[in-house]
Amino acid sequence: MLSGAKVIDLTIPLGSAIVMWPGAPAPEAETLVTVQHDGYFARRVSFFEHTGTHFDAPCHFIEGRASVDQIPAQSLVRPAVVIDISARVGSDADAVLTLEEVREFEKAHGRIPDGAAILLRTGWEEFNTDELRYAGAPGDLRFPGFGVEAAKFLVEERKAAGLGTDTLGIDPGIAVDFPVHSQISHPAGLWHLENLQNLKSLPALGAWVVVGVLPLVGGSGSPARVLALIP
Ligand SMILES: [Zn+2]
């Protein structure tokens, strides 16, 4: 079934130039050994758990809930549902996915299957090398995200396994109290993927997403290699 599958990489390469959540430390890499000097090359790297294309575990917002290493592998390979609102969002940094848009999506494509990864394409990935445009100004974060009603519907009525987006966060930048993270998705045990890219290459339905997240023991999240398979 997968022999002819197309593989799409949804991951931003992870290096020191990556746009961070304002105030979070940039990743660092230190060369420890080199081929010329030691016969082999290796570095020590350090990164904030929520760097670049990354995964949020429920314990990121809810104490005592699952950490990254406790997420079952089964939950990391999911049918992908791609809701594309980029045409409507345009340059509106405060746009959110509405419940009406989810219903329109189902009218056009059929019912969203239970247990899917819901990936929101806002078009914001276009700005992911421009800190001010992608994140907003320090103290005034501005980027699109999931609206509360839409998130509630996807979590409660469509039993989503996870939510993903091509912006810095699932909650829009203006939602300073993170209502989706703190009241809807993480309390229900869902994971998130943030700072995805290449969502434009995926069909609305029919692809699979494979979340290659590091199983950091006790981790609140981790950079992840996120791949989509189109059968
Ligand atoms: Zn995160």
Nearest to 70 by CA among 179, 219, 222: 219
Q: For ligand 1, a single-atom ion, which residues have Cβ within 5 Å?
A: 50, 56, 194, 221
pLDDT-above-70 percentage for the chain? 100
Q: Each residue of 13-36: pLDDT tens digit?
A: 999 999 999 999 999 999 999 999
| Contact between 21 and 128 (Cβ < 8 Å) | no
pLDDT-above-90 percentage for the chain? 97
* pLDDT score of 2: 76
Q: Each residue of 59-95: pLDDT tens digit?
A: 999 999 999 999 999 999 999 999 999 999 999 999 9
* pLDDT score of 1: 65
Q: Each residue of 161-187: pLDDT tens digit?
A: 999 999 999 999 999 999 999 999 999
Angle formed at CA 165 by CA 224 and CA 95, multiple of 5 degrees: 155
* pLDDT score of 138: 84
Measured in Å, residue 79 CA sits from the centre of ligand 1 at 21
pTM for this entry: 0.97
Measured in Å, residue 169 CA sits from the centre of ligand 1 at 7
Pairing of strands 28-33, 191-194: unpaired
Helices then strands, each counted (H, E), the chain: 6, 14
Residue 151: pLDDT band (50, 70, 90) is: very high
DSSP bridge partners of 146: 97
Measured in Å, residue 89 CA sits from the centre of ligand 1 at 22
Q: Each residue of 181-205: pLDDT tens digit?
A: 999 999 999 999 999 999 999 999 9
Measured in Å, residue 210 CA sits from the centre of ligand 1 at 18
pLDDT beyond 90 at 96: yes
User: Residue 24 CB: number of other CB atoms within 10 A?
Assistant: 12
Size (the chain), residues? 231
Q: Each residue of 111-124: pLDDT tens digit?
A: 999 999 999 999 99
Measured in Å, residue 197 CA sits from the centre of ligand 1 at 15
The CATH code of domain 6-15+51-230 reads 3.50.30.50
